Amino acid sequence: MKLRIDEYSNLDSPFHRWDARHKLIGLMALIFAFSFVRDLRMLLAMVVVTVIIYIISKLPVSFLLRRLRYPSFFLLAVVLTLPFLSGQTIIMSIGSLDLRQEGLLAALLIATRFLSILTIGLVLFSTTPFLTNIKAMRALGLPAIMADMALLAFRYLQEIGQDLQRMQTSMRLRGLRKRRLSIRGLRILAWLSGSILVRSYEQSEWVYKAMILRGYGHAPHPRGEFHTHSRDVIALCVILTIAAGFIGGDILLGHGSAALLQ
Amino acid sequence: MHIPDGILPVPVTGAGYAATAVTTWYSIRRIKQKEDPRQDIPKASLLTAAFFVVSWIHIPMPPASVHLVLNGLLGALLGYYAFPAILIGLSFQAVMFGHGGLTTLGVNVMIMGLPAIAAHYIFRLRKFGNKESRRKAGAFGFLSSAVAMTMSVAMFVVILLTNLPADLDVEIERAAIYTLALAHVPLIFIEGTITALLVLFLQRVRPRILDGV
Amino acid sequence: MLSQELGEPVLTVSGLWFSYPDRPNVLKDISLKVMPGERVGLIGPNGAGKTTLFLGLCGVLKPSTGEIVVLGKPVVNGDFRPEVALVFQNPDDQLFCPSVWDDVAFGPQNTGLSKDEVEARVKKALSIVAGSELADRPVHHLSEGEKRIISIAGVLAMRPQLVIYDEPSANLDIRSRRRLIRLLQASKETILVASHDLELVLEVCNRVVLMDKGSIIADGNPREVMGDDRLMEAHGQEKPHSLVPHQIPHRHSK
């Protein structure tokens, strides 16, 4: 199973070239600013900013669409239920279901925020190699134990994933048909999971030996080699200003009270 | 059972991050108090990856299929490492698959993590009493997992439905809570059963793993 | 760096016994002396105790009795001795950093070298194993052969004087195996190689130690030890093909 996390991290765009630490701070701030917005008039600005950022990042649109496949189910659930369940102002009736204004607006708000945050998140984490992002977090103050665990977990994720695939293939080849919900089926899943856990556990003992043989724990944990350029700081200021603009603008416009939201 | 971005207001997501930060800080402090945490870190890390991989396994639950959660067992096996492990696992999920949210990471970690810690203590209780039986371990596996799942479902449903950016009729809200909760009940049973079977398997194959990291 | 005086053994093992909690006497009264520059092949069936011996030599496992002295200093369980290096049987156990560069740099970073020194060590180690173009790759993208040479680079970057290889040619394709053999033949360190690949041992080593059931059975010239049919077969081995008179002659077409 391929973890295509770093698929597009070697393209070249202003976002790819932005220092990972500044990018983390800037884009996360923007994401939180987006989640703060309640006024419907700010939504348009949110969409525009998101689209511009995505275009600048040079990430392919197909990538974004692929990412949206899984979360769309949730989105669909929200869009299909809220407009019929929430609010008092009925604007339309479809058969026995009443389409309510508040619910519709709430669904619009949720959907827009969700999609914008997902897109910005994609830009944040796909324009830098995953490994570099972990090092950037370490440089920003992530505790060494967390960084060590994240790096090791990431490293062995592929191996363990391949182990799982191999075991599942072998099960299929030995005649295991489509799994049914039965005690036998559940037991097989338990044994499969158990094998994965045991193998990882045993491998970890070897990894520990390998680590101490090369001196693990003897030197202070490196904080990564990042160099700050002025353009990194400028870009950070720009993004933070935009984020502040969203928050300020939303508050000035009444923070959603005009749109009849809670 | 992860709450996606876009729904929860900033005070709630902020509180989630704060709570996660504090709990993680506390967990790391307890970890550092052990004499040689270096030995446990590879173990905890690889088990984190293993649990992550295992969560890709589908359980058929007509009409669709669900993914294993196993936060109960994770808590039982990892102890103080459970919280950092879940934080890492959920971060990976959000970043690699877009599953779960970035703003809601803190909240989601609490939803998974607190029950995992509870499961750890419940599973430990199996040591009390004189009878050392396989069935006892399996039963405690079921119990700790079921309790953890129930806590997670409860937290998820309540946090989600009380923070929607829309007015829900009290009636409808209650109905929604009941429906969502009820929909998860079969899942709780399945998780509990699988955890029990897993514990029995581990006892047979590698009992040391059950004593935790 | 300790400079090796001529005539001082690199490794001296005296009266080593080792037991696991569930397995007694995995190593029985092992005594061994290795001189600088020697290339010792360690052969024997699975379970003979080779890996356990190696872990003891590195200070990872504590022996029940006996003494191990490396480069004049006794090996104490838990000490960090970068002069001795072990290349594990399974490279995945040893390549625990996500990128090649990070993994090779891990050891040097832990010995407190400056950033530039670490960089130099990594470059040198990668060039020795002919793996320089792999420097930026993520580890999980490497092939078996590539993983093997990078795990060796990671160990060589610490400038060890004694390098122990545990089944280095396992799972390698023919080309990678040949690269490995050339690498071992060119190595300047004292090396111990445990292998089931008896042809490799013949090509690389100038001394062979046969182990079985925790004891050393034979120790000497490779051709003599491995050419002794009865000895080899008595301990679960076979005479390597090169030492067997040809039954099927080669027919060279002209």
Domains of chain B: 10-211 (1.10.1760.20)
Whether residue A258 is predicted with pLDDT greater than 60 in this model: the reply is no
Whether residue C1 is predicted with pLDDT greater than 50 in this model: the reply is no
Judge whether A32 lies within some domain: yes
Task: Indicate if ipTM > 0.85.
Answer: yes
Residue A157 shares a structural domain with residue A28: no
CA A107 remoteness from chain centre: 21
Beta bridge partners of C207: C40
The total domain count for chain A is 2
Per the CB < 8 Å rule, is C107 touching A216?
A: no
Please report the pLDDT score of residue A3 as a whole number.
Answer: 64
The answer for residues whose C-beta is within 8 angstroms of residue C103's C-beta and 6 or more apart is C95, C96, C97, C139, C150, C154
Whether residue A262 is predicted with pLDDT greater than 70 in this model: the reply is no
**pLDDT tens-digit profile of C67-114?**
999 999 999 888 888 899 999 999 999 999 888 999 999 999 888 888
Judge whether A95 lies within some domain: yes
Question: Residue B61: its chain A contacts at CB < 8 A?
Answer: 181
Residue A42 shares a structural domain with residue A75: yes
Judge whether A220 lies within some domain: no
Measure the CA–CA gap between A234 and A23, rounded to whole angstroms.
11
Residue A66 shares a structural domain with residue A184: no
Judge whether A222 lies within some domain: no
Q: Nearest-CA neighbor of A221 among B91, B41, C157?
A: B41
Residue A32 shares a structural domain with residue A147: no
Per the CB < 8 Å rule, is A114 touching B5?
A: yes
Q: Which amino acid is at C76?
A: V
Residue A194 shares a structural domain with residue A233: no
More confident residue, B8 or A257: B8
Judge whether A100 lies within some domain: yes
**pLDDT tens-digit profile of B141-177?**
999 999 999 999 999 988 988 887 666 677 777 787 8
Residue A104 shares a structural domain with residue A28: yes
Please report the pLDDT score of residue C169 as a whole number.
Answer: 93
Boundaries of domain holding A30 = 4-135+227-259
Smallest Cβ–Cβ distance between A87 and the set B32, B57, B166 belongs to B166
Q: What is the CA radius of gyration of chain B?
A: 18
- From residue A118, alpha-carbon distances to A6, A24, A31, B6, B97 in Å are 17, 14, 9, 9, 11
Residue A165 shares a structural domain with residue A249: no
Residue A127 shares a structural domain with residue A236: yes
Determine which of A6, A131, A154, A155 to mutate to test the interface with C (most C C-beta atoms within 10 Å). A155
Alpha-carbon distance B40 to nearest alpha carbon in chain A (angstroms)? 8
Residue A192 shares a structural domain with residue A234: no
Measure the CA–CA gap between C199 and A89, rounded to whole angstroms.
85
Interface check A207 vs C, CB under 8 A:
yes
Judge whether A192 lies within some domain: yes
Region of C15 on the Ramachandran plot (φ > 0 left; ψ -120 to 50 alpha; else beta) = left
Please report the pLDDT score of residue A261 as a whole number.
Answer: 46
Per the CB < 8 Å rule, is B164 touching A164?
A: no
Alpha-carbon distance A152 to nearest alpha carbon in chain C (angstroms)? 6
Positions of E strands within chain A:
90-94, 97-100
Per the CB < 8 Å rule, is A262 touching B96?
A: no
- Residue B171: other Cβ atoms inside 10 A: 8
The answer for residues whose C-beta is within 8 angstroms of residue B28's C-beta and 6 or more apart is A143, A145, A146, B84
Residue A127 shares a structural domain with residue A146: no
**pLDDT tens-digit profile of B68-100?**
889 999 999 998 899 999 999 999 999 988 888
Please report the pLDDT score of residue A217 as a whole number.
Answer: 81
Per the CB < 8 Å rule, is B44 touching A194?
A: no
Among chain C residues, CA nearest to A207: C93
Residue A196 shares a structural domain with residue A245: no
Judge whether A76 lies within some domain: yes
Determine which of A1, A2, A28, A35 to mutate to test the interface with B (most B C-beta atoms within 10 Å). A35
Measure the CA–CA gap between B70 and B49, rounded to whole angstroms.
13
Question: Residue A214: its chain C contacts at CB < 8 A?
Answer: 82, 106-107, 110, 154-155, 158
Per the CB < 8 Å rule, is C58 touching A213?
A: yes
Measure the CA–CA gap between B158 and B128, rounded to whole angstroms.
34
Judge whether A101 lies within some domain: yes
Question: Residue B176: its chain A contacts at CB < 8 A?
Answer: 85
Residue A79 shares a structural domain with residue A199: no
**pLDDT tens-digit profile of B185-195?**
988 999 999 99
The answer for residues whose C-beta is within 8 angstroms of residue A175's C-beta and 6 or more apart is none
